[in-house]
Amino acid sequence: MDFKLRPWTPADLDSLVKYGNNPNIAQNMADVFPHPYTQEKGMAFIQMASSATPPNILCIEVDGEAAGGIGLHPQGDIYRKNAEMGYWLAEPYWGKGIITKAIVQMVAYGFEHWDISRIFARPFGRNIGSQKALEKAGFTLEARLEKTFYKNGAYEDELIYAVRKKA
């Protein structure tokens, strides 16, 4: 299925809220991803995501609509050579290989635009879809931490996947 990564724009608000307002997505994300996903939260997100140059948070466009997001978050201090990746996709498009390809594209974009040597992602232990996508995109499981996340009233395992810049 065709998709493209491109900057977020204010015109994406309605589809962002339509697809983002989904507990099946929110339950696998950090609490910064809101539930319920309101218009106000959507506007604040789009404003934030449009503020950086080059943009580090991109929209996943499918069939002409904003159908997900993927972001790269460069870290500070002694983690300054690392960036964390996060992503989500509208539920109707799950299982079509979109996120695997989006991760590959975002890794190339990240190593091109930021002075980083490692990109990592931290899926929940129960998030098999995200783990498989990361593995297919070339990430390696570096660590499994037990019950470090606390989400929706329950402790969850944290998996650390990473990919290194080739020398």
Ligand X SMILES: CC(C)(COP(=O)(O)OP(=O)(O)OC[C@H]1O[C@@H](n2cnc3c(N)ncnc32)[C@H](O)[C@@H]1OP(=O)(O)O)[C@@H](O)C(=O)NCCC(=O)NCCS
List contacts with ligand X (CB under 6 A). Answer: 25, 28-29, 87-89, 94-100, 121, 123, 127-130, 132-133, 136
- Closer CB to ligand X, 40 or 135, in the complex: 135
Whose Cβ is closer to ligand X: residue 73's or residue 132's?
132
Radius of gyration of the chain (CA): 15
Q: Is 74 helix (H, G, I), strand (E, B) or coil?
A: strand
Q: Return the structure tokens found at 8.
A: 């977020």
CB of 70 to ligand X, least distance (A): 9
CA-angle at 93, arms to 110 and 10, nearest 5°: 60
Q: Please give the residue whose beta carbon sits closest to ligand X in the complex.
A: 129
* Pairing state between β 82-89 and 65-74: antiparallel
| 22 vs 50, beta carbon nearer ligand X | 22
Closest CB 49 distance from ligand X, rounded Å? 16
Residues 6 or more apart from 22 whose CB is under 8 A from it?
35, 37, 90, 91
Cα 167 to Cα 160: distance, rounded to the nearest angstrom: 22
Q: Residue 21 or 78: which CB sits closer to ligand X?
A: 21
- The token pair at 92 is 């109707």
CB of 38 to ligand X, least distance (A): 18
Cβ at position 100, least distance to ligand X in Å: 3
Nearer to ligand X, 66 or 115 (CB): 66
Pairing mode, if any, of strands 82-89 and 118-121? parallel
Least Å distance between CB 53 and ligand X? Answer: 26
